[in-house]
Structure 1
């Protein structure tokens, strides 16, 4: 490689590094509230419409701003695959599904080794089109079926597994993480498929983890042993929930609360925490009324960040 080419490459790397440390928010812009629309989770953008869940349904907010029910019985993370089909975590039905273009439903993941999942929560997709999802359990823990193999240790009481899984095709599911994260919630994979990020949010336990974790993946999408790294810690506040990453590698994490609970303080306010790839806090977008749950890019040019917080929908323009 010629010296000039090396210099050009170095300049590109420097610019990329600098952009990952700058705030992406349009100077002077303030978050806009769109009202109490029941925007709890999701969200996902497609063809001028924003899709989100309210705990019972998938709702669609069209270009005219009106909201209608798109599908029943889906209550958590959403994404659109390469063919424009909506993939959803159906926490109540303990499965992951895909809505086909004709409106029919394909079940992508329902059981693992014959056992029902806990409550699939959030999902993401890698560059090969494989889907990854988290399977925590919040609230009552009765009915959990996935446990580690029997142990010969005396007086050992096994804890149910709250894992992370990869879907290769309908019904073909692999578990890629079963320890190291107490209660995996939000999930994303870097665009180069190198890193897996997990929002470890054990927020209904005193002293539970409220951390953003990063793992290195191999070329097969498996977690490399010994690569767990804490990127950011919300300590005794409400931990990280849904998240996204932009082209510069900045991570947008929905977290925090404005109302203290038995297990959570208000040390970290509700909103979107914008982090550098290494975990440096770059900026913060406040939301209300209480906990901030998820976010997604959308708008005409993909430069609007939509945020769900306590059933309310917010948006802010990005550069």
Structure 2
């Protein structure tokens, strides 16, 4: 039987570990969460990635190979079985766009239930593992294409024969253009700012010793290409797990999922807890950190009718916390 002393000691060391991790915050730490709010666990499994608030369906997540649904009332079901999905997005018409990492493509679910393939190959070669996606004000979709795990099936290489883990843009006419080739190590989460002038990219090579664990910012041109010379390092997570999903709130602040709460050697060896949501100013200054007590923190999304609930996926579990400022409204057309 576990004694009260043992429990208290465990709590003490858990809190001590949290306190030992001290990111450098802005001098004036803003109030991000509602007063007294703290992360609450909603689900233990089925929420591995891709959280997306749907105004009619509630919260969608990718997990256990499916797209799962959690209704406003808390009911849970499989929305799309065997989707093999990761990142999820609503386009300007409110249709669901899916990064199918398993099938190595990006698709769109039409209103009548048909599935349209938006991107499956680049210059005749299959994509790696489409991971996450974002959209600009014109409706152009940008997605990352990293590869985690087995790399033997990678097909896309540059003229020098080097494997490419890039970022691509899908135009309204269906044309697919690569906008980042080797400017980042292994792209993951990404987001376009509301004015279409900047693209933030999570660079998360978390299964390679010395791999990048960084957040980058690029200037985005009007034609949807990046200015490679504008690349700016926003934050480096060092030896812990790097940045994953990224979202924006209505004030333009970035909410970035990253970190671990225990070492994952040999590649992720940070000793202190670091898992949670890192909040940055629009200019990239680290403002605060929302700890999530679960490995590993993969993504987040704003939801609820007022977009003032932050949903977080972590190690397959789903968490929520009330925030003061709502999330950035979706870029859907008004109906």
Q: 1:140 to 1:166 in 2, by over 3 A?
A: same
Q: 1:259 to 1:202 in 2, by over 3 A?
A: same
Paired residue total: 294
Partner of residue 191 from structure 2, selected from 188, 191, 194: 188
Secondary structure of the equivalent of 2:229?
coil
CA-to-partner distance for each residue in 1:46-99, whole Å, 9 max, x for gaps? 125000000411001112211111113232000111211110100000000011
Secondary structure of the equivalent of 2:171?
strand
Q: 1:55 to 1:124 in 2, by over 3 A?
A: farther
Aligned to 2:320: 315
Q: Distance in 1 between matches of 2:189 and 2:209?
A: 20
Aligned to 2:79: 70
What stretches of structure 1 of length at least 5 have no aligned partner?
A: 1-17, 152-157
Corresponding position: 1:304 with 2:309: yes
The CA deviation at 1:23 is 3.1
CA-to-partner distance for each residue in 1:18-64, whole Å, 9 max, x for gaps? 9x972321122111110213101111001250000004110011122
Q: Distance in 2 between matches of 1:162 and 1:100?
A: 28
> In 1, are the aligned partners of 2:156 and 2:164 still within 8 Å (CA)?
yes
> In 2, are the aligned partners of 1:55 and 1:75 still within 8 Å (CA)?
no
> In 1, are the aligned partners of 2:183 and 2:228 still within 8 Å (CA)?
no
The CA deviation at 1:278 is 2.7
Partner of residue 131 from structure 2, selected from 109, 112, 121: 121
1:1-319 matches, within 5 Å, as 22-47=30-55, 49-72=58-81, 73-149=83-159, 151=160, 158-169=161-172, 171-261=174-264, 262-266=266-270, 267=272, 269-319=274-324
> In 2, are the aligned partners of 1:234 and 1:268 still within 8 Å (CA)?
no
CA-to-partner distance for each residue in 1:159-201, whole Å, 9 max, x for gaps? 2100000001474200001011000000100000000000000
Per the normalisation by structure 2, the TM-score is 0.85
Q: Distance in 1 between matches of 2:64 and 2:142?
A: 21
Secondary structure of the equivalent of 2:162?
coil
Q: 1:268 to 1:220 in 2, by over 3 A?
A: farther
Secondary structure of the equivalent of 2:31?
coil
Per the normalisation by structure 1, the TM-score is 0.89
CA-to-partner distance for each residue in 1:224-258, whole Å, 9 max, x for gaps? 13000000110111000001011211100000011
Q: Distance in 1 between matches of 2:29 and 2:221?
A: 27
> In 1, are the aligned partners of 2:139 and 2:172 still within 8 Å (CA)?
no
